């Protein structure tokens, strides 16, 4: 019997994660997930109704590199080498030009978007399966198309994009690939609340982004490496 596939999903209880995790479980993965908001964790656990031999859910501050490493070790000890790691932790803060952005906001965007991806990737790489592995980082369309008024976020997501490409180059001699997904603003309740006057009709749905990540995390995506995968449909062209 083949060993079960293993996925580790930091931030996997958010809107995209709640769509992604069921897909992975259905596809035969054992999954380990981090959360910060208890209500999100409870909702996912009740939705899946699985024992810890299939799904591990842990509260981890993914800005803390040591805590992330300990979580990845727990997942490795429980499930074995990792086939897929998708870092979904992130957040947006805008409305400020560069001259008006204080250090707290700038550092928060770097921590929430770039440092979390860095910590997850650094912990995942030595624990990836030698058979096949997939690392997916959540970038943004605004890593390349950089609007004003949110430079701290743009810079952080540009770093995520560069990080995924650097990992792919470093792992060329292995069976692990690394790619970044670049969505536009995702149609969630939180983003609609943050941008109440925006036209969100054509924003991508969390389910659509989860489908892209699930494919990139599969064996079938082996020929896609060092890629920047657009995920905005007709929303921002």
Task: For residues 169 and 14, give the distance between their C-alpha atoms in angstroms, rounded to a whole number.
Answer: 29
DSSP annotation of 3: P
Query: Which CATH number does 5-231 carry?
Result: 3.40.50.720
Both tokens of residue 15? 């809107």
Q: What are the φ and ψ backbone dihedral angles of 53, each rounded to 5 degrees? A: -80, -5
- The 10s digit of each residue's pLDDT in 119-152 is 999 999 999 999 999 999 999 999 888 889 999 9
- The 10s digit of each residue's pLDDT in 84-100 is 999 999 988 877 899 99
DSSP annotation of 220: G
For the chain, the first-to-last Cα distance in angstroms comes to 47
Q: How many CB atoms lie within 10 A of CB 38?
A: 10
- The 10s digit of each residue's pLDDT in 27-72 is 999 999 999 999 999 999 999 999 999 999 999 999 999 999 999 9
Summarize the chain as % helix, strand, coil (round to 5). 45, 20, 35
pLDDT at 9 over 80: yes
DSSP class per residue in 113-178:
IIIHHHHHHHHHGGGB-SS-EEEEEE--GGGTS--TTBHHHHHHHHHHHHHHHHHHHHTTTSSEEE
- Position 31 scores a pLDDT of 98
- In the beta sheet, which residues pair with residue 182? 230
């Amino acid at each position: 019997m083949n060993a079960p596939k293993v996925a580790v999903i930091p931030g996997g209880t958010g809107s995209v994660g709640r769509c992604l995790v069921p897909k992975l479980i259905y596809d035969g993965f054992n999954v380990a997930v981090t959360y910060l908001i208890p209500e999100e964790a409870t909702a996912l656990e009740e939705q899946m109704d699985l024992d810890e031999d299939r799904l591990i859910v842990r509260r981890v501050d993914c800005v803390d590199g040591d805590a992330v490493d300990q979580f990845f070790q727990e997942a490795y000890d429980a499930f074995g080498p990792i086939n897929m790691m998708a870092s979904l932790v992130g957040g947006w803060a805008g409305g400020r030009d560069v001259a008006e952005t204080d250090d707290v906001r700038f550092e928060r965007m770097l921590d929430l978007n770039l440092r979390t991806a860095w910590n997850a990737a650094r912990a995942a790489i030595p624990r990836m399966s030698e058979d096949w592995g997939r690392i997916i980082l959540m970038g943004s369309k605004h890593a390349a198309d950089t609007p004003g008024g949110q430079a701290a976020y743009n810079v952080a997501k540009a770093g995520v994009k560069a990080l995924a490409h650097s990992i792919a180059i470093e792992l060329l001699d292995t069976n692990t690939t690394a790619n970044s997904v670049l969505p536009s603003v995702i149609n969630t309740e939180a983003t609609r609340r943050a941008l109440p006057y925006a036209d969100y009709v054509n924003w991508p749905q969390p389910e659509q982004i989860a489908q892209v990540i699930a494919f990139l995390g599969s064996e079938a995506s082996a020929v896609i490496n060092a890629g920047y995968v657009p995920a905005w449909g007709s929303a921002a062209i």
